[in-house]
Structures are given as structure tokens and as C-alpha cells.
Chains A and B, each alone.
Chain A
Amino acid sequence: MTDALFLALSTLAIWSGWRVFRVDSMVRASFQLMVSFIAVGLIAVLLAAPYIGIATIFMMAVEMMVMALFMVMFMMNPAGLNPMVMVHQHRFSIAAGIIAFAGLTAAVLLSDLPVQRVPEGVDVVRNLGHELLGPSMLIFETAGVTLLATMIGAVVLSAHSGRYGASDTGSLPPGLTPGGEPAGRKPENGGHHHHGGH
């Protein structure tokens, strides 16, 4: 039973991981990645980590939702209405991927891995909680500060109007060719956006 589930879930994880880079629609790509994460989360449950496994699913559902929003926002042809290939150094990347896989597999097969299973009946979530509030308390609080820094950094970088006015005043878009005409937005519009709405 466990083996069959593991086989099905790992096939799903790898297949949808591969599809991420093969589909035209950015929404599909993000949610394929989400499916891959869900499969890995369920495998983690099989590996006796019921908390980490399920929590992965719920964290990744949210993160991939946000991922999809940004993918659609910034990618050309986000729905893949025209078929497209947007890759560079393709051969090299395939080779690197295969070498990474082969190398890791060889390392796994060749090395002598220690065996010590999770004991039956251990409440792993409780252990994790004690770890968090005990020995790893500092890590936990540091994570808090890191997340705060992330929040502030993300807001500073992404919000348009800070205290000092629009963040893009005076900037120029790059040329489509080196030294060419600025692409898209014309420079004379660059600093004169109308900040309506509020």
C-alpha cells in the first residue's frame, strides 16, 4: 500500500515537475509546480512526517497562487495563446540537469547510508514544538526578524509611491537593441505619471 502510493506520488511529482517547463500557459506552469509540491508533501506524510507534509501543501498552494499572479503579470503571452519556446543555452542546461541527476544518484547508490528509522508511536509534531521553544528558540525568533526584514524589503522595493515620491522618476527603459530606442514607455512619460485614485 505504502509502496504503491509512493510510486504513484513520486511519478506525479517528477512528471508535473517536468511539465512546468513544457507548458505554454504560465498559469498551468505555476500550478504544475504546485502539484509537484503537493505530491512531495504527501510523500513526506508517508515518511512519517504528517505535519511537515501537509503544511508543505498548504504553504505551497498559497505561494504558487502568488507565483501565478506574478507570472501572468510579467510574462509575455502569459496564457500561451501562441506556442512559444523561451529558452537559452538549451543543450547545456539539459546536460547539466542530467549530470546533476546522474551524479546525485551515483552518490546515493555508492555511499553507505546510515539506517535509523523514526521510532513507531513518536509524536513528531510535539518533538518539533519542543525543539522550537527549547534549543532552537533563537532560530525561531531570528526567523521572525528575517521575515520582518523581508516584509519591509518587499514593500519598499515593490510599492510605487514611497514617502519620497514615485520610485521611477527619471528612469529610462532599455533599448531593444544595444544603444537603440528606449522600448515601451517613452522617456518623456517617464517621470510624469498621474497619481490618481486616492
Chain B
Amino acid sequence: MTLVSVLIVAAALIGIGLYGALSQQSFVMLMMGLELMLNGAILAMMGFWSFSLGGAPEGQLLAIIVMAVMAVEMAVGFALVVAVYRKRQADMTESLTTMKH
């Protein structure tokens, strides 16, 4: 286990997450892609923290902040999904763009 190997795993997670976020039609699946990218980001961050930063507490704090961002993204994202579905009965990213009436 070296920094390079950890970062490559993180890169793979970010790559898969990007693929998911770009390819999925549904808004909730898109959020899954984003979460997976953040997962990779957390891993990369912890790798740097452990191997390069000598355990500076800011690194851990940053990971917590990323997780808080994730929670906020999820709460607001789902609230939006509910609100949009209630008004328009749509959960697709594409149908959102066609709603201009």
C-alpha cells in the first residue's frame, strides 16, 4: 500500500463516478454518480493525509467537510426531486430541460 496505489484506486472511483453522473438519465442515479466521485475524493484525501501531510488535523477536517457537503447535497437534492415530482411528475434530467411552459 503506497500513496500511488491509493491514488490510483481513488482515480478509478472518480472515473466510474464520472461515467455514472454523465450517462444516467435519472436525477437520483446522477446523484449516485456524484456520490461515487466524492467517495474517490475522500479516499484520495485520506491517502494524502496519511502519506504526505504527516497527519495534519486539517486533512481529517476536510474529509468531514466533504461528507457534510455530501449530506447537504443529498438532502437538498432529494427535496428538489420531491418538489419537482410533485409539480411535474418527472424525475428525468432530460425532461427537466424541456419544461419551459
Contact with A along B10-28 (1 / 0, CB 8 A): 1111111111101111111
Contact with B along A168-185 (1 / 0, CB 8 A): 100111100010000111
State the interface size on chain A (CB cutoff 8 A): 91
Q: Is the CB of B43 within 8 A of A147?
A: no
Contact with A along B67-100 (1 / 0, CB 8 A): 1101110111011111101111111001100110
Interface of B is mostly: helix
Contact of A37 among B4, B39, B47 (CB under 8 A): B39
Interface of A is mostly: helix
Closest to B35 in A: A33
Q: Is the CB of B28 within 8 A of A174?
A: no
Q: Is the CB of B9 within 8 A of A97?
A: no
Closest to A99 in B: B15
Bound-state CA distance A3–B75 (Å) is 37
Contact with B along A122-152 (1 / 0, CB 8 A): 1010011011100010010001001100110
Contact of A74 among B33, B81, B95 (CB under 8 A): B81
User: Is A105 interfacial (CB-CB < 8 Å)?
Assistant: yes
Complex interface: chain B residues within 8 A of A44 (CB): 42-43, 46, 63
